[in-house]
Structure 1
């Protein structure tokens, strides 16, 4: 298996994982986030397949994921809607590791390529995977915040009343 085939399989695995996460989160805002991330992974796989098969392709920066992220993080009742499934945060940390592996792979491919079109693809994919990494990191922060707030609510900083 060459590196492009490996990258395609990695993207397809990522899409399946994000679709699975979406199903686990049907009742909250994470559903849309994971569906968009799965869609992005499928697009990445298609771009790589087209490159491998020497078929024309377009690198679009449509910002769909950014729009979902904006909706997701501006939700007023976000903290109350999302339930932490046991081990969910650990699962998100595994996703972070996978996204980091993707970034590292595409950086290595970028550095070893002399083909300008190929380099353009790898730069695009690095940027996309970095966005995924950032979103998952934000989800972990939000889930951790609920634990930290509950643990420190009684002893947290309070405004002095006069």
Structure 2
């Protein structure tokens, strides 16, 4: 089984908002505010047309967008975990695990993984990270001779120990 990883770039810009959200002008747009005030406008705000990082609904909107695209590619979410998607059977089976903008894509066939990445890239700009080595604080170790895969949270454990040692 091959497991590869990719990351959606500028992930929160892909989702479309269903509700109207207004925000104050950001720092870089003060000149526009001064221009608007000169024309008699007192309170100038921006209406967001798409999701942005930091909105409380941003992750939900992104998940709905990716979910819709994966389903259009023939993937079905698992009943037990809606962030795990499957498609195909036997040698052509592919599994996609999704955590916000991080994806693991697993299959016995590298060509299947490449095809899935290409399908995802039709909608989203992705960073292809190759073979999965480290995700969500978990290190993945492959032993191809023994046909085994091991996982470890050594780095996380060491960071916890360091935190407590530093505190005294």
Tell me: higher relative CO, structure 1 or 2? Use CA pairs within 8 A at least 6 residues apart: 2
Q: TM-score, normalised by structure 2?
A: 0.23
> TM (normalized to structure 1)?
0.24
Structure with more strand by fraction? 2
Quick check: which has more Rg, 1 or 2?
2
